Amino acid sequence: MTLLNPWALFGLIPLYFIYKRQSQSAEYVKQKRLLYLSLLFMILALSRPALTQHSSDQKIDAQDYIVALDASYSMQADDLHPSRYIMAKRAIQKLLKLHPKDRFTLFAFTSNALLIAPPTTDSALAMQALNALNPEYILTKSTSLLQLFKSVAKISKEKKKLIIFSDGGEEHDLVKLTNILKENHITPYFVATATTKGAALKKDGKYLKDIHAALVVSRINPMLQDLAKATHGGYYQLTSLTVINQLASDIEDKTEAKELTFKVKSYQELFVIPLAIALFLYFIAVTKIHQIYLLLPLLLLPYKADASLFDFYHLKEANKNFQHKHYHQAALEFTQLSPSVKSYYNIASAYYKAGEYKNALRYFTRIKTSDRSIKQAIFYDIANCAVQLKKYDEAKEYYIKALALGYDSDALYNLNLLRKQRRKTSNNIMQKKSSKEKTRKQKSSKKDKANKDRGSSNSNRQSIQSSNGQGKSKKKEKSSLLVKQKNRANKYKMAYKAYEIINKGYSNEKEPW
């Protein structure tokens, strides 16, 4: 168990430069010596001193076996319940229990071989490594016995007993496989993990088909039995777990048992003693200096701290600027702190006080927390930022979110205030529209009356203009002006009609949000 963080040593280095600035008083010299002694005992604790109590020799009679499990996609077939792969894992677990003192090496293989447990007599540890293997995460799906045999051949043992749980895949080169087994003194024991009838393979609940639209059926590869005979190995069909009893009996050879000797030493750890002395000396030294140095013992805690070494300085500067209403500078100091929910909230709050609502909103939305009260406060602050940015719909949405997490009188008050403001704005718009419409009607009635007066005096004008050529030109000029005014009136009516059609359904809403 780690009780001392190595970074504590680096945290103590600045103390030298801080004390160097102080007066060379007797008290200062005493404190400095205490710190040096504390550092010395910390280094001694890091060296992990221990006393050897005794050592003993442990002897066991054991044999070495290599177990290989096929993890290809065909092992997911269900002709063995619940699947070939799970049935093979249960068989391996039983085999390990039948040989508790022997050493096993575990491989998993597809088109390549993967070592999942080195040689060990701890069967529980080997099974834990096997259970940690998830074939769904293996990208290669085919079976290659050749690559497995090449990997086993690299193991530095004279004779190797290899127990293989597989359906055989599509291997067919019997001669090549036989030669590599004989050259490397590998004796294979094949446990055929499938049935002779086989099973159709499925993927996502649907049967797989080949390029000829035929079902893909996986069966035992008959070459496995021929390969076992050619290499004087063994062949077994995994119809039930009772087959493992025969396998365990066949692979056991009393004449090849080796006596393995292990030396076991026991120790008594002593690092606690210098560590306790170091902590005691350190606290004596620092309790008489400035309070900020009391933060340094946090470096000795057994967990990894998220805070930076100089966070206390930036926090102090940020608080000072905030108190003096230098909010922008306070926000910049808060950004120097280690990222956390609290630091982001302080940054956002400082930017809000500074009137930089976009920056405040950016940091409020960065905060990720599952704490209900904090999340409610964040929603409330986001809504306030949205109001300042005149995004009233967004503000309404976040006030409602804040109230959904619990009652908040401020959020409820602001939401009601926002609703009243929106309703007042909507009423003002409707009043302006109605006043404009009345003005338009009055103008149109006056124009109609003027047109009637002009029509009644039209005959008089014609008689006057016929006797005076100059009057004729004035008639034409006035008539052209009348036509332009009519056209303008028609255009204005057309535009207003379109305006009514476009705004239909909105002008009469009492609460347009």
pLDDT digits (tens, 9 = 90+) for 347-399: 998 999 999 998 898 888 888 887 888 888 898 999 999 888 988 888 888 88
Coil, strand or helix: which one is 217?
A: strand
Decide: 50 and 44 in contact? Cβ < 8 Å.
Answer: no
Question: What pTM does this model have?
Answer: 0.43
217-218 and 199-200 beta bridge pairing:
antiparallel
How many residues are given for the chain? 513
How many Å apart are CA 376 and CA 370, to the nearest integer?
10
pLDDT of 87 = 94
Beta strand extents in 379-454 (DSSP E only): none
Residue scoring higher pLDDT (225 or 497):
225
Q: Where is 27: in which H helix or E strand?
A: helix 26-46
pLDDT of residue 19: 54
Cα of 266 vs its chain's centroid, Å: 43
Confidence of residue 70 (pLDDT cuts 50, 70, 90): very high
- Across residues 14-33, what is the average pLDDT? 64
Per-residue pLDDT, averaged over 223-236, amounts to: 93
Mark 428-446 as b/e (b = at least 16 C-beta within 10 Å).
eeeeeeeeeeeeeeeeeee
Residues 143-160 have a mean pLDDT of: 89
Residue pLDDT, tens place only, 168-189: 887 888 999 999 999 999 999 9
Task: Round to whole Å and give the CA distance between 196 and 193.
Answer: 10
Lowest-pLDDT range of 109-118, 312-321, 365-374? 312-321
pLDDT confidence bin for 242, thresholds 50/70/90: very high
**Which segment of 154-163, 416-425, 481-490 scores lowest on mean pLDDT?**
481-490
Lowest mean pLDDT of 52-66, 141-155, 429-443, name the range.
429-443
Q: Is the pLDDT of residue 214 over 90?
A: no
Describe the strand order of the beta sheet including 234-237 as a list of residue ranges: 113-120, 103-109, 64-70, 160-166, 186-192, 234-237
Predicted local distance difference test score (pLDDT) of residue 456: 52
For residue 390, what is the DSSP state? T
Residue 227 reports pLDDT greater than 80: yes
Judge whether residue 264 has pLDDT over 60: no
Coil, strand or helix at 430: helix
